[in-house]
Chain A
């Protein structure tokens, strides 16, 4: 759905010397940036929490521009931990265009393949120029976008992500029942210190904990054994496997064919939900400003969801079903999905999907039906859902069908997602 509508400006422009046509930007313009960012994440194999960090800061830059220009938007970002103050200068002529540029500026600087976004930006500006945007507007918008991006990038740098490499590399705990790298790649643990960066909305002194996972036990009368057995015996009907594959969202599954190794890549869970937000906004014809508000709320809430989830993962260090089942039940067992390289508890997809559904429901209502076409380009069939909640429920259970999570890990993820979602709504509902 391309929706760049050209409106001729009937009124003479008093303030400016050169003629600039007014271009109306619809919310789907944001999708272009999000999609390009997603492509770059896939190429770079950006891990799920990190991917959300990129989306968050890019969206914040754009949304900062919009909230300065449009006071009807809820500037909830000012409640974030350590959020910087921005000097209010005179409003820009094309705030939507400026917001897009600000997003691109941040993506360029933060993402490994940022050079690609630079080219994308050049093409984008060019196409707007073709549509009649004057050089002067482009010039002032670029200046403003760069100024905001600079502030956001400084904010991003201060979150401490670049200090994570100072921590020792993760060493698997030697106790039985704790997580160990999984085949076929035995990749090292992903982002074991993610929770040491600054979150957007959480107060580290007031974190509501989820229950501890069922303790590891090799006794076949134990709760843990029953949980493992349940994964082992999960109903692998075609419908269930289709669900598992639909929500796989593994950025890098290793295909091991002897000397020939190929990484099979997909989008991360967060990127999937960013895509869903785009689908919903387009369906509702949501305005540019509101669309960006939704995207920003979603991105930042999901980064916090990953933050919370990763904190627990590297607290409980729980063994993956693949390792436990091969040891306790069947040495030849292989999960349907490739086990991602980090501890099991809780299920990250469950946490973020539950949070995402709460945030999107806040904006679109509880019975918003839609068809998810996000992964069509990866050869995965569309699926239709009656609500975000239904989709989140399916995303959560898909990890059980896929053989990579125990049921208590999924439930704990959902609990955690609800905690975070509810907490985040207090920010969104807060009147600024």
Chain B
């Protein structure tokens, strides 16, 4: 059976007969292709037969591309073939435009063989560009293996990847001389093996070096490729360096600048549905063995959802472009089984919107089908018969859902306007293209459907959004590149820039109109700058007309002026320590499958203080993953010198926090180290006891033999407090989790200092603090300058809790400071007077918005827990809102694993797909359960208002790209207000959430009045990789502690 039987056909648009109107060409898998000549007013005439472009009768026609291959200014058509067919039935066709007949119908002749482009490979589509700047076009043929993926392991994969398979692998054809192409794939360094399921190639200069690069979408576990053009000589795949993770079943793609920052962003499509029911019927349980295996064979971290790879510029550590994946933050990650993605400004407001086609005629992926349809197959041998498969396939439902239209919200996010813009038609759609078919200044969409007439969506923006202007640009390139492919255009409008690249091959199996369309909003452009693929450039000042023609012959070669690279704010200094070779990673989700976020990866923690009285701040870095804690003494030179200490002896602890303070009142700094972690520890594990190291005044530490009361649970944080003003500092220690019993509330500790290193546990006096929740961090400050100090606690599924110390007793004052204290998955808190107005602000790190989880007051995340099946273990059930309904997050298989009694309640996937919590747990069983809530996932900044209450202040959207676990506050630019560094990430999240890695150290510079601007990674200069768990400022250096990697100092350039 042919693997890609329901992958559909494509659409190509362009003016084929030179009448100035955009014509449409459709491919049909099994019927004749159609060519529609545009008669104006959205009236078309079908002329494929006369024109000679029906293609060969019968199967299997796939992608279509328009291209002026011979430079005669008449568009030609390249048509691809695939299927389980003999080679001669699969030869691709190149229809050369011979000019019009008397009736104005263009006539075509197939000259593929003469051009050397009649490839018999299993082709998806061809794309054209001039990779070596010789002014003619070269061609990439995107191919796929018609058979399903073989069984792979490390040895066979390497073997298969080495072997060339021209019928399945991607092929690169160079136009050696006019009208003659040669297949030069291998000499260009391009992989072309049988492990190829290429569904699209996107072309763009992603590293902005003037040479066109390309991105390959591969289906299944085969990784995508990002090939960087080595100045027209070779291509180099850099995807593992450039992207932290990619789509799993990559389908169509598009490359465009979606945030108007002048850098090309990459968007790849996948299959994750939006609604709960389809997700539950589709999501297989997290299989860590299978996933780790794919990582081990070099296929990278692939997750099933659309990925928006936002370009961050060149990472100096790799010299390659770096992308942050922001698809979920952008709101475009879940669009079901998707094919084509087309970024274009459909409403002419000056920002590119997004159209996505989707649908599959037979919903192969249904889990009930996988598990229970096999009941009906009579199985003779180990493999099933073709006839069985066909019978089964007939029983499958069509996914038949609506395509998506997203409007760019101009802040890194998109909003679905499918319904609002009248595009809710259900269909199984594949290829699509845009073009201004009626010439009224907005883009129509043409969509090729399976077993259903094609769609043409007429765009009414010209009537409904009259205030929005547009500009259409016709490019006339030199040589054989008449359409100016590869040209880059910048449109300047006041402070705003828009960036475009001329590339027709976008989405899936299709090509868009060569007429470049620019939405302007209400502002006319100040100027326009074009750089042609050849490198020649031209500035056009004052663009007044709605349509202009640019000629490469008018452009000039200007010596490339290196852009004045701003020097970065931070420069990396010599690495303090690395944790390389950390022992085996522990998978928390194997111990308790329903943990929300990983609990084991807590370190490294840091603390600073002058331990030897030399007036120089010294640094302590805690234990992490079996690597010993280290004390660094600062030398007069500023150098940090590693010094042996008692702390280094205590290997095996997971240090979650540490604090220098004078614990015994002898005038020097002692050190308290908090024990945390999760791993295989038992509740009451000896490794959960905190330690106190007593300083002899010269920086020599001795472990105190008096046991500390804070033990028995995994803890996260220490805060030095003073309860009784006796000059002996007291201590708060926050409880994080009881190992093995997540999410039961762990104990937190209030400890009274009795001198001589003795602490008395007085937590029981303050039950609200003792049982505050799963605490991650604490702060101690006088929030409202009334002379009374507050203890502020944050944590996972916790409101921000505030306790005022009043006459040696804590009184909860949360309600005084918050009308509704936001409940979050808070990781860290800092209290600081950021704008130096004498009032304190509160900055709290949260999960962020770039995940599958959403939460609000009206639609909270709820974590219900109890030992529902009374088998001796806590059963956590997380419920989240999906499309307005609270549904369980776990899959059916996970539930059945957690509670064997559920096996009789949900005998198939469909019944669980429809289930709410009340269908899972009976009313009787719910009695006595406990519930944690989260109503806010944004990392948030709060300031006090006139009523003395905290209210949220807006932060740049980039902040929400990843979890924030560490905050540094410092003055970067010497201005009045303080600046902020935010870092975090979460590499060990459960598979369904996936690796969260879109923070490389985000600097927010103050613009005054608590308004902040996100600094680009290039300007910041941090380029952090991994999970940052602590940051400490020491002099002009920022010490960054990264989990399982090490501690890395960065020097501030300007301070």
Contacts and interface: CB of A to CB of B under 8 A. Distances in A.
Interface stretch (B151-159, B785-793, B795-803): B151-159
B379 A112 contact: no
B593 A169 contact: yes
A114 interface: yes
B374 A114 contact: no
A115 B382 CA distance: 31
B601 interface: no
* Most chain B Cβ neighbours within 10 Å, of A259, A334, A337, A380: A259
A379 interface: yes
A257 B374 CA distance: 14
A215 interface: no
B151 A262 contact: no
B901 interface: yes
Contact of A257 (B371, B389, B590): B389
Nearest to A164: B900
Interface in B148-172: 148-149, 151-153, 155-156, 159
Nearest to B373: A262
B451 interface: no
A262 B396 CA distance: 12
Contact of B872 (A163, A266, A327, A379): A163
A43 B389 CA distance: 19
A164 B873 CA distance: 10
Contact of A378 (B159, B369, B370, B379): B379
A342 interface: no
Interface stretch (B287-295, B318-326, B466-474): B287-295
Contacts of B591: 168-169
Interface residues of B, number: 57
A290 interface: no
B548 interface: no
A221 interface: no
A260 B374 contact: no
A183 B377 contact: no
Given A161-B900, A262-B384, A337-B382, A181 B290 contact: yes
Contacts of B364: 259-261
Contact of B382 (A166, A245, A260): A245
Contacts of B393: 260
Interface string B445-469: 0000000000000000000000000
Contact of A326 (B155, B290, B384, B873): B155
Contacts of A129: none
B44 interface: no
A162 B380 contact: no
A112 to B, nearest CB: 4
Contacts of A256: 148-149
A136 interface: no
A263 B372 CA distance: 7
Contact of B898 (A114, A165, A184, A261): A165
B289 A181 contact: yes
B858 interface: no
Nearest to B6: A259
A258 B3 contact: yes
Interface string B1-29: 10100000000000000000000000000
B1055 interface: no
Contacts of A338: 382
Main secondary structure on chain B at its contact with chain A? loop
B448 to A, nearest CB: 20
B445 to A, nearest CB: 27
* Most chain A Cβ neighbours within 10 Å, of B1, B153, B389, B873: B153
A140 to B, nearest CB: 27
Nearest to A336: B382
A271 to B, nearest CB: 15
A111 B290 contact: no
A111 B371 contact: no
Contact of B149 (A258, A266, A326): A258
Contacts of B392: 262
Interface in A353-394: 378-380
B220 A166 contact: no
Contact of B372 (A43, A168, A172, A380): A43
Interface in A149-199: 161-166, 168-172, 174, 180-181, 183-188
A396 B290 CA distance: 30
The list of the 9 closest CB pairs from A to B, nearest first, reads A186-B290, A258-B148, A112-B903, A181-B289, A169-B590, A331-B156, A166-B873, A183-B151, A263-B374
Interface of B: 1, 3, 148-149, 151-153, 155-156, 159, 219-220, 249, 287-290, 293, 364-365, 369-375, 377-384, 389, 392-393, 584, 587, 589-591, 593, 680, 869, 871-873, 897-901, 903-904, 907
Interface of A: 42-45, 109, 111-115, 161-166, 168-172, 174, 180-181, 183-188, 245, 248, 252-253, 255-266, 323, 326-327, 331-332, 334, 336-338, 378-380
14 contacts: A162-B901, A165-B873, A168-B590, A180-B289, A181-B290, A187-B287, A258-B148, A260-B364, A261-B364, A262-B389, A264-B374, A266-B379, A334-B151, A379-B380
